[in-house]
Amino acid sequence: MTKVEMEISDITLSGSSSGAYAMVLGEITGGRKLPIVIGGSEAQAIAIEIEKMKASRPLTHDLFKTTMESFGVRVTEVIIYNMVEGVFFAKLICQGGKKEEEIDCRPSDAVALAYRFGCPIYCEETVLKMAGIGESELEQSEAEMEEPKPKESKPRKRDKSLATLQSELTKAIAREDYEQASKIRDEIEQRQEKE
């Protein structure tokens, strides 16, 4: 499996009333982006650490870091390793003495901890191929926004597959159409709850 090193490119409010944010990870040695929809508190936890702000009381991620360090454990890297039906999976690679452990977690928590521990963030190449957006797709999305298209009958969201919805979510985020992205994300979540 090939790992690609990533960094935070942007965290933006989705523009909807749901409080969702888009965390966009950018490839360090290339132009691909990986947009992931995250919650408001996770976005705040990441932004506070990136901006080197200090909360009056320790946030959950700060508490977790302090606890781990108290027991001699460090997070050495985080990996976003899979995506299933629009849900991303990540893991912390932790080292304590001679022992190394992998701990499953959400990508937003993994990124928040990576910035606190100063460790690299990786994404599996397969995940980038599934959900990443290349420079050409970003340019195409921008061009589509500029030139109006004739109205055509579109399939309703509920008639589309989860894979199609995930693709549309990724493209909406690339276009920075966070309101549409939020609606698509809500549809994906509703379907997953029914399953």
Task: Please give the C-alpha separations between residue 77 and each of 41, 43, 119, 122, in angstroms, as whole numbers.
Answer: 22, 20, 5, 7
Task: Please give the C-alpha separations between residue 48 and each of 37, 39, 45, 153, 170, in angstroms, as whole numbers.
Answer: 18, 14, 5, 44, 25
In this structure, are residues 140 and 173 in contact, taking their beta carbons and an 8 Å threshold?
A: no
CATH of domain 3-131: 3.10.690.10
Cβ atoms within 10 Å, residue 153: 5
31 or 113, higher pLDDT: 113
DSSP-assigned beta bridge partners for residue 133 = 33
**How much is the pLDDT for 56?**
82
pTM of structure: 0.68
Mean pLDDT for the stretch of residues 83-96:
94
3-class DSSP state for residue 143? helix
User: For the segment 113-164, what is each residue's pLDDT rounded down to a tens digit?
Assistant: 999 999 999 999 999 998 988 765 545 544 444 444 444 444 455 567 777 7
Phi, psi of 53 (to 5 degrees): -90, 155
- In whole angstroms, give the CA distance from residue 161 to residue 175: 21
Count CA atoms within 13 Å of residue 118 on its CB side: 1
151 or 34, higher pLDDT: 34
183 or 133, higher pLDDT: 133
The CATH 3.10.690.10 domain(s) of the chain lie at 3-131
